[in-house]
Structure 1
Amino acid sequence: MFLVFFVVFFPVARLQDFQQFQDLHDPQNLQYLHDLQDTGDHCTGASCNPPLGDLMVGRAAQLSASSTCGQQGPQNYCIIGYLEEEQKCFLCDSRLPYNSYSNPDSHGVENVITTFDPDRKLRWWQSENGVLKIITSTP
């Protein structure tokens, strides 16, 4: 009996490769992306796989939202759906970034970027209650 193991390697781009793309409208950045595509280094057989990575890494400070709970000071937000616990309204204060010890009630827009931190499930972006047509963007 023979056992055959196939190992597939997916190239992962380095963080600095993505940080240079602050402006995708810059012709140099577009040319670099085009050159990466044409290298063929990421092709095996009939399959080509571009470099993988999270394009939001390093851009948390550039995110914005038209509504964030507690951005101007402490504010209540309420969960308007099914909730088993009795408490349905909570306090948020997003004037400073999330910190599990000093500011656990911060729910700023920077929290939309997923991390692998142990407390990642305690971080999320929270809009203000009752605000419609919320816009989030990066410059």
Structure 2
Amino acid sequence: MSADAPAPRTRRTRSLRESVGSIVLGFELIVLFLGTLVAWGLHAAPAGVVIGGGGALIVLAVFAILTLRYRSGTWLGFAVQILAIVAGIWVHMMFIVGALFLAIWIYAMYSADKAERVKATQQPNGTENPL
């Protein structure tokens, strides 16, 4: 390496909330895509509405993943969960699938926050902070 070469960029450390949230939303992306195909195959609505609505929900989920480092990303994730439940109007199984993902989302966000609070109270040597 030459002396003029820039130092390698270090990666940003992701929070537990961001990591777990992206996993949940990543799996949900697959379900949303397959749900869109089911709605299209069942002719639940005109094809443009089904593809447009499913595509918009998928784009919203991707945007939520990209913004999970901020509090607004978590709220976008909640919006994706609610809209997945609303999709049950056209594909009735989405009521159940959306409710399951909402429960997983709530549990994941609660557990990640709890784990980060516990981690914040620990001192570097692994013992708990007395305060």
Q: What TM-score do you get using the length of structure 2 for normalisation?
A: 0.25
More strand by percentage:
1
Larger RCO: Structure 1 or Structure 2 (Cα < 8 Å, ≥ 6 residues apart)?
2
Pick the structure with greater CA Rg: 1
More helix by percentage:
2
Q: What TM-score do you get using the length of structure 1 for normalisation?
A: 0.24
